[in-house]
Amino acid sequence: MPTAYGFTAYGGPEVQRFLELPMPVPGPDELLVEVYAAGVNPVDWKVRAGQHRAFLPLDLPAVLGREAAGVVAAVGADVEGFAVGDPVFGASARGCGGYAHFALLTASSTAHKPDAVSWTDAAVLPVAAGTAHDGLAGLVPEAGETLLVLGIGGGVGVAAAQLARAAGVSVVGTAGAAKREFVESLGVGVIAYDSGDFDEQLRSALPKGADTVLDLVGGDALNTVSAVLPPGDRIRTVADPDTAARFQALPLSRSGSTEALAELARRVAQGQLDPQVHGVFRFEDAGAALHAVESGHPRGKVALVMRADR
């Protein structure tokens, strides 16, 4: 029976453990993949804590992980374009399951991995970079325009900054002062929300306002930058519907398509996008990997490696 890492009840880290589970069987639009690497994201501990169970019901015990990369071991019914032995990366099927030696991926949210892209880089693309890609696809910022990213220091923001700058867009973002040097290294202007006069920094960085806004913080974040906001149709936000409506902003929606993931992989292979994987843990240290993400905001992305030779 393959080994996986998950949780047996909703709660804190104490409910996490290694599990011996039956080999998954791929259904329609699913691939069974031998996992070489898996991404570790804040959403993983939020799922374990029960914050998403209203819209992501799971049978317990459940396996953690929303993204993975590996080699196709079996193909589900009616799946086309993939074959056993293909190197791939994509989103976990049925909501979870990437922290495992074998996992199910959703075929329509999976792409082939180019040889030039490492397993760890591929594994962390679907959630963060995929969200960034889809957010920018909705905004369509043009070369010469300015994009304001609220919460630019996280995985989604870092990917959005790189993708936008590759298109000739000027990028400014809000982040903690501790991440200023890292974010500025990406060619991005930083407005520190926890250091100095925020309003003065905002006016200085965006004297003519922002052309487009990607709000990855939610809550009251849009209100704090209301002086520089563009029309609502040029704002994508993760804020609640009432807050979004107040600014006539549109929700940040996801497609997670094979085409989007393939484009991201091409950009990585061409050197236009660095997934910024700065934390790599062995599978046996999965608990420590998730703790690193849950206990703070680590620089860059965190990945699990399932095999020592990968």
* Ordered per-residue pLDDT tens for the chain, 310 residues: 689 999 999 999 999 999 999 999 999 999 999 999 999 999 999 999 999 988 888 999 999 999 999 999 999 999 999 999 999 999 999 878 999 999 999 999 999 999 999 999 999 999 999 999 999 999 999 999 999 999 998 889 999 999 999 999 999 999 888 888 988 999 999 999 888 889 999 999 999 999 999 999 999 899 999 999 999 899 999 999 999 999 999 999 888 899 999 999 999 999 999 999 989 999 999 999 999 999 876 678 999 999 766 6
Q: What is the pLDDT of residue 297?
A: 60
> How does strand 146-150 pair with strand 212-215?
parallel
Write b or e for each residue in 176-211: b if 16 or more Cβ atoms lie within 10 A of its Cβ, otherwise e: eeebbebbeebebbbbbbeeeeeeebbeebbeeebb
Q: Do domains 3-124+275-305 and 129-251 have the same CATH topology?
A: yes
**What are the strands of the beta sheet with 235-237, ordered from one edge?**
189-192, 170-175, 146-150, 212-215, 235-237, 250-251
Say what the pLDDT of residue 134 is. Answer: 94
Alpha carbon distance 211, 142 (integer Å) = 9
Give which of 84, 63, 68 is closest to 119, Cα–Cα.
68
Which residues neighbour 304 within 8 Å (Cβ) at sequence distance 6 or greater?
Answer: 37, 38, 39, 40, 65, 99, 123, 280, 281, 282, 283, 285, 286, 289
Provide the CATH number for the domain formed by 129-251 in this structure.
3.90.180.10
pTM summary value? 0.92
- Beta-carbon contacts of 69 under 8 Å, excluding residues fewer than 6 positions away, are 33, 35, 36, 37, 38, 87, 88, 89, 90, 113, 119, 120, 122, 123
Domain boundaries, the chain: 3-124+275-305, 129-251
**Type of residue at 307:** R
32 token code pair: 């069974």
Q: Which of 92, 90, 38 is nearest to 306 (CA)?
A: 38
User: What kind of fold does domain 3-124+275-305 have according to CATH?
Assistant: Quinone Oxidoreductase; Chain A, domain 1 (3.90.180)
Q: What per-residue confidence (pLDDT) applies to 54?
A: 86
Rounded-to-integer distance, Cα 299 and Cα 170, Å = 22
